[in-house]
Amino acid sequence: MSDPVDQRLVELCAEHQLPAATAIGLRSLLTAVAAAPLSLTSVRDPARAVEVHVADSLSALAVPELRAARRIADLGSGGGFPGVPLALALPNAKVTLVESVTRKARFLTRVTADLGLVNTTVLPERVEAWAAGRATQDVVCARALAPLNVLVEYAAPLLRVGGILVAWKGRVGDQEQAAGDAAAPLVGMARRAVVRSSVSRDMSDARTLYVYESLSLAPNEYPRRPGMGRKRPLCS
């Protein structure tokens, strides 16, 4: 590997103690996103996407519970971030890519097949409708998806006790953080950490990882029916 993108992928694999071969899969993912005949993301150029998408996704490997996870759900997976990089990095983990937009789910199905990712499943439906996922996940991931109070409601029913939500965020205002912290106990969760991301190159905003832990199984009334979490967010 000799071009700057390939060199950066090698650096990222070394930084996160991943096999060097992981960089090949990550480069194939970037190539697929750049070539996709649909608007998966506003950042498609591999020279920028390696930072904005791949480095950002892999930054969560700094969270020990995620690194050790065996079942991970990526909510609103879109172009596959963070779920596909995490599946490449953690081959022993079963990663479910939850994506309700049909064209995006089809892209995910195609790209994971092309990458030979036998540890991924694409779920083409809304997270609130995933009844079989209840209390099964070690980690739920969500990147640029919704406010914190909405995310804890989405994640809580899926998590086993002791499981965690990892939410990728830019700058979070006091009001959003307070709403997330107030909503968490209603669904059996509590905030455990805010991790400053090491990602800095070509990123226009500060990055943080909000980590919430499941202290008890979510009450049976959650999740509410599809759309209600956004329409009437808890503690908004």
- Residue by residue, what is the 3-state secondary structure of 28-74? HHHHHHHHCCCCCCCCCCHHHHHHHHHHHHHHHHHCHHHHCCCEEEE
- Give the whole-angstrom CA distance, residue 141 versus residue 58: 12
Give me the domain span that covers residue 151: 48-231
Whether residue 157 lies inside any domain: the answer is yes
Report cis status (omega within 30 of 0) of the bond before 91: no
Instruction: Read off the CATH number of the domain in which 170 is found.
Output: 3.40.50.150
Residue 22 lies in a domain: no
In a domain, 70, yes or no: yes
Split into its structural domains, the chain has a count of 1
Please tell me the pTM assigned to this model. 0.94
Alpha carbons 151 and 222: distance in angstroms, whole number: 12
In a domain, 225, yes or no: yes
Residue 128 counted as domain residue: yes
Identify whether 34 is part of a domain: no
- Whether 129 and 158 have beta carbons less than 8 Å apart is answered as no
Predicted local distance difference test score (pLDDT) of residue 36: 87
Question: Considering the domain boundaries, does residue 108 fall inside one?
Answer: yes
* Tokens matching residue 6: 């390939």
The pLDDT profile of the chain, 236 residues, written as one tens digit per residue, is: 469 999 999 999 999 999 999 999 999 999 999 998 777 788 889 999 999 999 999 999 999 999 999 999 999 999 999 999 999 999 999 999 999 999 999 999 999 999 999 999 999 999 999 999 999 999 999 998 999 999 999 999 999 999 999 999 988 999 999 999 999 999 999 999 999 876 655 545 678 999 999 999 999 999 999 999 999 999 97
Q: Give the per-residue pLDDT at 1.
A: 47
Identify whether 220 is part of a domain.
yes
Token digits of residue 182: 């107030």
